[in-house]
Structure 1
């Protein structure tokens, strides 16, 4: 849990003209001096709870429940204007807007009696927590295929909560994203209003999601009947909007034009920035206003440092992410952190590979993507303790081991069996080439395509792995000088072959013996080849994962995450972004980067931030 402090910052409240805002304005106790705090009825009987403290409670509770704070606060705002009580004496729980028994700040409806009604009425924190529990239950409907999901369904992306927010109010026709008569946007739908409040009360712009009337089925006679979804997944060009209230120390961010850089915690020294600037988050701690705080101010403040050395405090909505980092102390733990990043809600299947050598795992990304499985790493002789714990956290009931017992021992397999999983399966041949063939068989692709890369180096196969994974294309391995028999067998019936790598990886006789139509994708170095892969397959999408090109582990486990996010995988050295990768970043306007591994492995944050500056011009 992050540390939380409240600070005194004096602001004037600008009241908008929406009905919600007019209602809120009527409840302000106005004062003549601007230096005095305006107050709002955010309080509990016998205990003064300011709006600042409720902002803090909503923020910290949202983080504890794995929900973007912006979403939690906007739902509470839409439900009650952040009010637990209706009357000035604070004795009557907030009015029931929908006549459905809703109680308090989150308007919790408890017809089944699962919650403590008195606590719902009288304990703001309890009401918030139960409301967020319900919101998480609505999120689970997407995982179960009841309501639609968006992109990789990451919990920290605001737009991904669209249908969970819809379900919080009810999966009924009046909440359809489109109007049933003409298919136009339904601006009065509950979730549309919540998302409007996220934008207005945080000073940020969300992505417009691409809905059509044909996505939904309607009952022409009754708008309160259940809304039927004809489409259960949306792929939306990214990047979408990650929460601006979950930054970590060291993250690189962009300030928006006109950002006020406050020079002290009490809000003094208002200094508008005339241009966008790169900054670094100095601490994970967030700060809350205690003066003029209202339900209209959903943001928090971060302590930042600009590139010119100036430091100050900036509102969260005025910061846009450039770099974030996913890392652990070891390659095992980095793989686990990647798993937590991409599979926050768990996974049925885990793909397990040996951590210290790459051959058997090179072809694994497409298979892992097929089963929506993270790739975790283990020692050869025993199941790594941290990896075992992550399998348990994921709730997986199947583990697929890549490689023979030489790569991943029988002891590891026995340890997995002892975990009472439904299935422990090994895919391993006598050689790396046979293992790749067996993985291709398990993948079962019927698109007539295959990728061929050297089995003696890792960069080429891993750079292409996100594209191969998303498109169900098997990765087959070869000797640089000849094609092994197992690989030739796997290539039978393939009409399109992508040969990855130049002469040092695949020489001319190998290329000439490949069946079907062959497209060679190669550059002079591994970094050139990685850039050519992005060009050849038209990848980029404004976001990328970044891994070292001199070690395989982080790129291997990150490849499936890149595929889930529809992002490129960029290879760099520890301290340098090579020229071909720089060029790709500029050409593709890539400006959001997730670094895989610690700064001892990938330390190019500043260079990526400079390149993002170029991309956003």
Structure 2
């Protein structure tokens, strides 16, 4: 866990120490001895030539919006030298400029989150040198933490422990090997304050079984048919002493499972005149849709987004529930125009939230559903589904968005949304094989 303190005097002591060591290490690796630019590299460096240590790196950690103003060079030893940024870039909002006495200063206000690498090159026309530096711009006062386990099932249990750390009268169980059934269940589980536990199809890991046993649930809902969660898993769950009922909600395909989950009289969606519509053919947009839908007790309906129209059963569901408002997640290549037009014949208000890719869509969902400042933001990989499936329930209960990211960096639109939300906590979902350790410094993809 990385704690970022807002106090200027003690600001991020562990983090600064860590990043300063990293910056020094980077400088040691990349800093090159001065060479005469017009002579071969094997020629000895002339005596008295200033060394690369006379240019100075910016602080390793800078808070977003904070002012930076420091000497980038030694005014005496680099007299007559010109200092420029030859590779990479300074953080947005910072510039390097000469000042009286031929020193150079880096100053300005850090205006964009991210990990920045830059090389300062200084030369007097005869001799030259380089120093490579690293600086990370992080949110003001944010705490970056991680919820993770050794695999998707362990991560799911770690998340479930945040949903309900003790007992849980109701538990939803779905496949961790495929996403559709859990996508349908996540928003409903959040509505009912119940953990969503992932399991392999044909067996249940001891750790997963032990966690469910500890919850001592009265009711367990198994989501999906036996091709998703086998009868042998169901049999094991029935053996838990506290369990009085096991309810399987399945269907002929993922779309029928979604409808049956929504309409189940006991464990389905609570009454709502709104619906969230996502494609069941791909997972990313549904991951973004789960937190705001679960927060607002809105069911998530999976449809065949590539189809040219709603099915008769889908039209019947919307009509029976007297839906007046629908939000489509993803562009027309994700949920077709034909489906949108059919929904408009039933619901008075139909909105669509999309973006140029899954990452931008997640940022646009957060922008639409979470105006203003919030306490927590969750970051999950947009390249796979399991960690965000479990995390969607927790995010919904905590009224927090899930923003999708690459393994090692955030899209600029995602970083902009993190900045706009100014969260107190930024939580990474999944281990370092899913979200790299470098992501804890919130780098922005180049």
TM class, shorter-length: 0.5 to 0.7
Who is 1:346 aligned against? 167
Conservation of the 8 A alpha-carbon contact between 1:404 and 1:426: yes
* Alpha carbons of structure 1 residues 367 and 357: separation in structure 2 relative to 1, 3 Å: same
Relative contact order higher in (CA < 8 Å, ≥ 6 apart)? 2
- Structure 1 residue 497 corresponds to structure 2 residue 326: yes
Equivalent in 354, 359, 367 of residue 522 of structure 1: 354
* Alpha carbons of structure 1 residues 551 and 606: separation in structure 2 relative to 1, 3 Å: closer
Taking the TM superposition and a 5 Å limit, the aligned residue runs for 1:177-196 are: none
Conservation of the 8 A alpha-carbon contact between 2:410 and 2:442: no
Taking the TM superposition and a 5 Å limit, the aligned residue runs for 1:236-315 are: 251-257=1-7, 259=9, 273=10, 276-277=11-12, 279-280=14-15, 305-309=17-21
Classify the secondary structure of the residue corresponding to 2:184: coil
Cα distance in 2 for partners of 1:555, 1:423 equals 28
Conservation of the 8 A alpha-carbon contact between 1:369 and 1:469: yes
* Alpha carbons of structure 1 residues 348 and 305: separation in structure 2 relative to 1, 3 Å: farther
Cα distance in 2 for partners of 1:604, 1:509 equals 43
* Alpha carbons of structure 1 residues 526 and 606: separation in structure 2 relative to 1, 3 Å: closer
- Structure 1 residue 415 corresponds to structure 2 residue 236: yes
- Structure 1 residue 391 corresponds to structure 2 residue 103: no
Cα distance in 2 for partners of 1:396, 1:605 equals 39
Conservation of the 8 A alpha-carbon contact between 1:252 and 1:609: no
Who is 1:247 aligned against? none
Who is 2:103 aligned against? none
Taking the TM superposition and a 5 Å limit, the aligned residue runs for 1:371-390 are: 371-390=192-211
Conservation of the 8 A alpha-carbon contact between 1:547 and 1:602: yes
Cα distance in 2 for partners of 1:387, 1:351 equals 12
Who is 2:180 aligned against? 359
Who is 1:466 aligned against? 291
Who is 2:270 aligned against? 445
Cα distance in 1 for partners of 2:279, 2:434 equals 24
Equivalent in 232, 244, 248 of residue 426 of structure 1: 248
Gaps of 5+ in 1: 1-250, 260-272, 281-303, 312-318, 612-617
Who is 1:105 aligned against? none
4+ residue runs over 3 A deviation: 276-280, 604-611
- TM-score by length of structure 2 reads 0.67
CA RMSD of aligned residues (A): 2.2
Q: How many aligned residue pairs are there?
A: 316
Per-residue deviation, 1:604:
5.7
Classify the secondary structure of the residue corresponding to 2:404: strand
Per-residue deviation, 1:605:
5.0
Who is 2:336 aligned against? 507
Equivalent in 250, 258, 272 of residue 436 of structure 1: 258
Cα distance in 2 for partners of 1:485, 1:550 equals 33
Who is 2:47 aligned against? none
Conservation of the 8 A alpha-carbon contact between 1:351 and 1:373: yes
Who is 2:433 aligned against? 600
Per-residue deviation, 1:606:
4.8
- Structure 1 residue 538 corresponds to structure 2 residue 370: yes
* Alpha carbons of structure 1 residues 608 and 588: separation in structure 2 relative to 1, 3 Å: farther
Classify the secondary structure of the residue corresponding to 2:402: strand
Q: CA offsets, 1:478-526, max 9 Å, x none? A: 1123223332222112110101100221121121111212101111101
Who is 2:145 aligned against? 324
Cα distance in 1 for partners of 2:428, 2:440 equals 12
- Structure 1 residue 566 corresponds to structure 2 residue 399: yes
Cα distance in 1 for partners of 2:178, 2:443 equals 34
Classify the secondary structure of the residue corresponding to 1:556: helix
Per-residue deviation, 1:257:
2.6
Cα distance in 2 for partners of 1:543, 1:306 equals 24
* Alpha carbons of structure 1 residues 607 and 389: separation in structure 2 relative to 1, 3 Å: closer
Gaps of 5+ in 2: 25-139
Per-residue deviation, 1:340:
1.7
Per-residue deviation, 1:609:
4.8
Conservation of the 8 A alpha-carbon contact between 2:381 and 2:388: yes
Q: CA offsets, 1:146-192, max 9 Å, x none? A: xxxxxxxxxxxxxxxxxxxxxxxxxxxxxxxxxxxxxxxxxxxxxxx
Classify the secondary structure of the residue corresponding to 1:363: helix
Conservation of the 8 A alpha-carbon contact between 2:171 and 2:220: yes
- Structure 1 residue 554 corresponds to structure 2 residue 383: no
Cα distance in 1 for partners of 2:398, 2:217 equals 21
* Alpha carbons of structure 1 residues 486 and 358: separation in structure 2 relative to 1, 3 Å: farther
Cα distance in 1 for partners of 2:142, 2:369 equals 26
More strand by share: 2
Q: CA offsets, 1:575-598, max 9 Å, x none? A: 111111111111222342111110
Cα distance in 1 for partners of 2:382, 2:251 equals 27
